[in-house]
Amino acid sequence: MLKLHSRCNLLCTYCYVYNAADDSWRDRPSRIPDNVLKRSAQRIAEHVAAHGLRRIRVELHGGEPLLGGAETALRQIAEVHAAVRAVSGTLCEVQANVQTNGTLLTEPMVRRLASSGIRVGVSLDGGRAEHNKRRVDHAGRPSWGAVTRGLAVLAEHPEVYAGILCTIDLDLDPEDVYDSLMEFRPAALDLLLPHANWASPPPGKGPSTAGSAPYGEWLARAFDRWFDDGRYRTRIRLFTEIIGLLLGLPSGAEAVGLSPIVAVLVDTDGSIEQVDSLKTAYQRAPSTGMTVFRHSFDDVLEHPGIVARQLGTGALADECLSCPVLQVCGGGHYAHRYLKGSGFRNRSVYCADLEVLIRHVARRIEPVLGLGSLLPD
Ligand code: SF4
């Protein structure tokens, strides 16, 4: 993940970059400088060459990565293509995505991104104005009007439309959120648990209600709507990951499963960081102390925070090790395990929710696939 801008034109009320424990964004360049852009591309190419990679994914993030237009994204990806071609010819495929709030998308911009093979993902909380009340600009004005204009442009360019990323809001009806988002015909949909942990619990779920599972129940209803819906073939990553894990496949996402973390982030000052979701834990939690100017991505594999995320069950709490849904849940998202004083060796703050959802998915797919019980009691 490469951060192109460390600022955003929106200030969503739940944003974990600007409203969480870590405010290190204040000290970083607002836009990625040329030397970081070029050095990041060289480090990517170095990693491709060292490991003989045949495919890599570059995610362009922010802040808002399209602040000021598409130019920075286009230049960054051109640099990555050139650097990777220099070390591996045409052997390594570079997949590029930009994750945007959608408010700045225009027809010429989308055409330019398309011509460079950059796909576009949009962040939304639902497919209606009333779902997106928390997605506001710095003056508190709604962003929905601008986003719908951007989505209308994307709808004309399905070749670049990567999908929608939606953070769950318990106040919204899951069926309505699903139905409204499907009206935008995304190829893929990510339903994300709000980033939270035992020190900063999620909305609607304090420490005294840790055993309740409002997010699991919300997701189970969304799952039923999706599973019973024959109209679309949209992939909902959390659900397809859980189905795959129930059937014994490895996970490809951070939210569930025991696969090692495969993502690293370069910030606008060249710092190599762990993923942004750790910002909800404490000041500079994602920091590795490394930078693209002095360290390779292999160096980052030695960092204790990254090592812990390569250990599988070795990094999990005792409750997880004796949990009947461990092989599917994997302890949940690493960032959701943090507890002040004991670090990350805890079950997820969404533990009860994850078990409810996983058991629900298992119950729904068992009869369809003609299988017996996929989980122990
Ligand atoms: S459901 Fe809870 S105890 Fe079980 S693996 Fe997940 S976080 Fe750990």
In this prediction, residues 19-46 reach a mean pLDDT of 85
Extract the runs of DSSP E, i.e. beta strands, from the chain.
Answer: 2-3, 55-61, 93-100, 118-124, 161-167, 188-192, 235-236, 265-266, 271-273, 287-291
What pLDDT was estimated at residue 121?
Answer: 96
Give the pLDDT band of residue 6 (cuts 50, 70, 90): confident
Q: Please give the single-letter amino acid code of residue 172.
A: L
The mean-pLDDT minimum among 43-47, 164-168, 202-206 falls in 202-206
The more confident residue out of 281 and 29 is: 29
Which residue's CA is minimally distant from atom 3 of ligand 1?
320
Give the pLDDT band of residue 256 (cuts 50, 70, 90): very high
**CA–CA separation, 254 and 376 (whole Å):** 23
**CA–CA separation, 58 and 264 (whole Å):** 10
- What predicted TM-score, i.e. pTM, was given to this entire model? 0.90
In this prediction, residues 349-367 reach a mean pLDDT of 96
Residues with CB under 6 A from ligand 1: 319-320, 323, 325-326, 329, 331-332, 347-348, 351, 354-355
Residue 20 has pLDDT above 60, yes or no: no
**pLDDT digits 0-9 by tens, 64-123:** 999 989 999 999 999 999 999 999 998 999 999 999 999 999 999 999 999 999 999 999
What pLDDT was estimated at residue 293?
Answer: 98
Give the Å distance between the CA of 346 and the centre of ligand 1: 9
**pLDDT digits 0-9 by tens, 301-343:** 888 888 877 788 888 999 999 999 999 999 999 889 999 888 8
Q: Which two tokens stand for residue 241?
A: 């990951």
What region, left, alpha or beta, does residue 157 occupy, with left being phi > 0 and alpha being psi -120 to 50 degrees?
beta
What pLDDT was estimated at residue 74?
Answer: 97
What pLDDT was estimated at residue 369?
Answer: 92
Q: Which two tokens stand for residue 291?
A: 């930078």
What pLDDT was estimated at residue 377?
Answer: 83
Give the Å distance between the CA of 360 and the centre of ligand 1: 15
In this prediction, residues 293-307 reach a mean pLDDT of 90
Residue 239 has pLDDT above 70, yes or no: yes
The more confident residue out of 50 and 205 is: 50
Which residue's CA is minimally distant from atom 6 of ligand 1?
331
In this prediction, residues 127-140 reach a mean pLDDT of 89
Half-sphere exposure of 354 (CA within 13 A, CB side): 27
Give the Å distance between the CA of 258 and the centre of ligand 1: 12
DSSP string spanning 194-234? PP--SSSPPTT--GGGTT--HHHHHHHHHHHHHHT--S---
Residue 276 has pLDDT above 80, yes or no: no
Give the Å distance between the CA of 317 and the centre of ligand 1: 9
**CA–CA separation, 338 and 348 (whole Å):** 8
To test the ligand 1 pocket, which listed residue (328, 338, 347, 375) has its Cβ within 8 A of the most ligand atoms?
Answer: 347
Atom of ligand 1 nearest to the CA of 330: 5
Give the Å distance between the CA of 361 and the centre of ligand 1: 16
Domain 2-369 classification at class level: alpha beta
Residue 174 has pLDDT above 80, yes or no: yes
Give the pLDDT band of residue 175 (cuts 50, 70, 90): very high
What pLDDT was estimated at residue 46?
Answer: 97
**Contact in structure between 17 and 8 (CB atoms under 8 Å):** yes
Give the Å distance between the CA of 254 and the centre of ligand 1: 14
Average pLDDT value over all residues in the chain: 90
Residue in 182, 189, 184, 144 with CA at minimum distance from that of residue 163 = 189
Residue 41 has pLDDT above 60, yes or no: yes
Which residue's CA is minimally distant from atom 2 of ligand 1?
351
The more confident residue out of 59 and 262 is: 59
In this prediction, residues 228-239 reach a mean pLDDT of 88
In this prediction, residues 119-142 reach a mean pLDDT of 91
- Is the peptide bond preceding residue 314 cis, with omega within 30 degrees of 0? no
Q: Which sequence spans correspond to the domains of the chain?
A: 2-369
